[in-house]
Amino acid sequence: MKFGILVNEGPYQHQASDSAYLFCRAALARGHEIHRVFFYHDGVNNSSRLTEPPQDDRNVVARWSKLAADHGIDLVVCVAAALRRGIKDDNLAPGFRISGLGQLVESGIQSDRLVVFGD
């Protein structure tokens, strides 16, 4: 089955990004496909390569980048939400790309299920 994922909150402040990541990993292990992960609202902050968590904590951003590299997942950051919050191509972590909200709607159309994670 093809899943689309929407992440509405940034890393560390809320559990949403962690829950979404663990859901994606479990879905992939189950043989499903992750069509796209779309980051909206403060969720765009998951894409900042300037993030530097303490060494004994999980690296939320790097974890998404690795998942994208290992499984060819499309990580899309909403352009309007990103520009509002100072996220640009210059500070984008590997595997993420900035695009329009149409990518979220398209993910809803093309996926079998769209699962929302937020506050």
Q: How many residues does the chain have?
A: 119
Query: Nearest-CA neighbor of 117 among 13, 14, 29?
Result: 14
Q: Report the distance separating Cα 67 and Cα 33, nearest Å.
A: 12
Site for another protein in 7-36 (CB under 8 A): 8, 15-16, 19, 22-23, 25-27, 29-30, 32
**Residue 99 binding another protein, by CB under 8 A:** no
Active site residue 24: no
**Residue 64 binding another protein, by CB under 8 A:** no
- Closest approach of another protein to the CB of residue 2, in Å: 10
3-state secondary structure 26-77: HHHHCCCEEEEEEECHHHHHHHECCCCCCCCCCCHHHHHHHHHHHHCCCEEE
Q: At what angle do helices 60-71 and 16-29 cross, to 10 degrees?
A: 20
**Residue 57 binding another protein, by CB under 8 A:** no
Pick from 58, 66, 88, 113: which binds another protein (CB under 8 A)?
113
**Residue 60 binding another protein, by CB under 8 A:** no
Catalytic residue (choose from 6, 7, 75, 78): 78
Q: Report the distance separating Cα 78 and Cα 81, nearest Å.
A: 5
* Active-site residue list: 78
Residues that bind another protein (CB under 8 A): 1, 3, 6, 8, 15-16, 19, 22-23, 25-27, 29-30, 32, 40-41, 80-81, 100-102, 104-106, 108-110, 112-119
